[in-house]
Amino acid sequence: MPFMPLDPSVYIDDTIIADLSEELSHQLRMDRRLRPILDRLVGNQWYEFEIGFENFWRAVVLQTGGHAEYVDAVSIHFSELTPEDVRTISDVFLEACLKAVPLHTAARFAEISDAALSAIHSALKPDDREHYDRLIEVRDSLKAGRIFG
């Protein structure tokens, strides 16, 4: 039985992660503000997005490592996001959690997501060089799992 290392009271299985992935995918596709961005980033490859998200989220919440490749794949698009986009993604993720997983699990998932999205949000500053350096720092923190502790 896999449990979250940061919170052993949270049981995680493939069904929980698949349900979250499916609900998140649905919520993102339905969001009118995010849809143009996602059309560029995901295109019509939503199945691949869902599988990638499931693998990434499983590695993050179970702290098994292996999520770095997914961070690399997504981090190249960080600079396309505005602070408002990041807030919207955070809201959509929370809503998906509340619909798809038990409440206690949703709360822990939201905490992890907020830590990651807050780091990305703080990197979205107007100065190009600082902006780039901060995005690289956030990407490296996400890859190393330092942001999820």
Question: For residue 1, what pLDDT is reported?
Answer: 45
Provide the pLDDT for residue 100: 93
Stretch (H or E) spanning 8: strand 7-11
Run of H or E including 84: helix 83-100
This prediction's pTM: 0.72
The predicted pLDDT at position 124 comes to 59
Give all domains of the chain, ordered by start, each with its CATH number. 10-71+80-148 (1.10.490.10)
Residue 48 CA, distance from chain mean position: 15
Question: pLDDT tens, position by position, for the chain (149 residues)?
Answer: 465 555 566 677 788 889 999 999 999 999 999 888 888 888 898 898 888 888 888 877 777 766 666 666 666 666 677 778 888 888 999 999 999 998 888 888 888 887 777 776 666 555 556 666 766 676 677 666 665 55
